[in-house]
C-alpha cells in the first residue's frame, strides 16, 4: 500500500530561466515536506482509530523521499516485520475494505495439516492478550511448537482431540447446548476435573473488515492543501539563496 505525491509544475512553463533552474530542487523540498506531514497525520490517525496500537503499527508509515531527478515522493506502509505479519498485510483490510489475508500462524497451521481449508482463526475467550489486544508472538510459537510435536499422535475419543500429553491441542469441544467448537484448546483442571480452555477458535469463511483507516484519503487531502504552499515557499528560498 502506497501513495505517490507529484507536483504539477505547468504554471512554470513560461517562467524565467532562473526559476526553471531552481524548480527541480524546490520541487523535491516541497514534496518531502508534504510527505513527512502526511506521515505524521497517518500516524496520528492510527492512534485514533485503533485501540492501543503496537509501536510497529504506529511507526508503520514510511517515506521514500523525492530527489531532484525523481520528482516523486512515496508514502507507504511497511511491508516487512521482524516477527509475525507485516503491517501492510494486517492493515490492508482496514484501508481498502477487503477480506484480510491469511495470518502467518494460519499458514503454519495449514502447512502442519491442523487448520482445514476454508477455516480461519480468531481469539478464544480464554486467550491471553497483550495490551494491544493480540496474542504475543512468543505464545503463538509455543502453541505451534506443541501442536507440531504432537501432530503425529493418534486422535483419541470421539471429539477428535489430538494426543494426550500436550498442554495445547486441536480438536472439537462440546459447550453449552451441546454446541461444538473447533479450535486450539488448553488443558486445565488436572486429572480429577479435566477441562479445556478456548484459546483459538476456527471459523468458516474469511473474516472481512470494514474500511476505517482512510490512508489514501488523508494523503490526498494534505497534498491538495499543502503542495502549492510548500512549492511557493521552496521556490522563494531557492531563489534567495542562489543570489547570495
Q: Name the pTM for this structure.
A: 0.62
Backbone angles phi, psi at 161, to 5 degrees: -70, 140
pLDDT at 39: 96
Length of the chain: 244
pLDDT at 156: 41
| 202 sits in which H/E element | strand 195-204
Q: How far apart are CA 3 and CA 25, in angstroms?
A: 21
Complete DSSP assignment for 78-124: ----SSS--HHHHSHHHHH--BPPPPHHHHHHHHTT-S-TTEEEEE-
> Could you report the per-residue pLDDT of 14-66, keeping only the tens digit for each?
656 667 778 888 999 999 999 999 999 999 999 999 888 989 999 999 999 99
Exposure pattern of 7-37 as b/e (b: 16+ CB <10 Å)?
A: beeeebeeeeeeeeebbbbbbbbbbbbbbeb
The cell for 199 is 484459546
pLDDT at 129: 83
Q: How far apart are CA 194 and CA 127, in angstroms?
A: 18
Q: How far apart are CA 224 and CA 98, in angstroms?
A: 27
Q: Where are the domains of the chain?
A: 2-97+210-242, 104-204
64: helix, strand or coil: strand
Over its length of 244 residues, how does the chain's per-residue pLDDT go in tens digits?
788 988 877 766 665 666 777 888 899 999 999 999 999 999 999 999 988 898 999 999 999 999 999 999 999 999 988 877 889 888 887 887 666 678 888 888 998 888 988 898 988 888 888 777 788 888 888 998 888 887 654 444 334 444 456 789 998 887 777 678 899 999 888 778 888 899 999 988 877 667 788 999 999 999 999 999 999 899 888 877 765 5
pLDDT at 229: 93
pLDDT at 165: 62
Complete DSSP assignment for 154-199: PEETTTTEE-SS-SEEEEEEE-GGG-EEEEEEEEESTTTS-EEEEE
Can you give the C-alpha Rg of the chain in angstroms?
A: 26
Name the nearest CA neighbour of 119 among 176, 172, 158, 76: 172
Question: Contact, 211 vs 95, CB < 8 A?
Answer: yes
Amino acid at each position: 500500500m502506497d501513495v505517490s505525491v507529484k507536483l504539477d509544475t505547468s504554471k512554470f512553463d513560461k517562467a524565467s530561466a532562473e526559476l526553471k533552474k531552481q524548480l527541480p530542487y524546490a520541487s523535491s523540498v516541497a514534496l518531502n515536506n508534504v510527505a513527512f506531514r502526511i506521515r505524521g497525520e497517518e500516524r496520528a490517525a492510527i492512534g485514533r482509530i485503533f485501540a492501543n496500537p503496537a509501536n510497529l503499527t504506529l511507526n508503520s508509515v514510511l517515506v521514500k523521499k523525492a530527489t531532484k531527478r525523481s520528482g516523486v515522493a512515496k508514502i507507504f506502509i511497511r511491508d516487512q516485520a521482524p516477527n509475525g505479519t507485516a503491517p501492510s498485510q494486517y492493515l490492508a483490510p482496514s484501508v481498502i475494505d477487503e477480506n484480510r489475508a491469511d495470518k502467518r500462524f494460519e499458514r503454519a497451521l495449514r502447512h502442519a495439516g491442523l487448520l482445514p481449508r476454508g477455516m480461519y482463526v480468531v481469539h478464544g475467550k480464554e486467550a491471553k492478550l497483550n495490551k494491544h489486544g493480540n496474542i504475543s508472538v512468543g505464545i503463538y510459537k509455543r502453541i505451534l511448537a506443541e501442536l507440531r510435536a504432537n501432530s503425529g499422535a493418534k486422535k483419541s475419543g470421539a471429539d477428535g482431540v489430538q494426543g494426550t500429553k500436550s498442554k495445547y491441542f486441536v480438536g472439537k469441544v462440546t459447550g453449552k447446548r451441546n454446541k461444538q467448537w473447533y479450535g486450539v484448546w488448553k488443558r486445565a483442571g488436572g486429572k480429577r476435573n479435566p477441562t479445556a480452555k478456548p484459546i483459538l477458535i476456527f471459523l468458516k469463511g474469511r473474516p472481512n473488515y470494514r474500511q476505517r483507516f482512510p490512508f489514501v484519503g488523508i494523503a490526498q487531502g494534505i497534498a491538495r492543501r499543502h503542495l502549492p504552499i510548500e512549492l511557493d515557499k521552496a521556490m522563494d528560498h531557492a531563489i534567495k539563496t542562489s543570489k547570495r
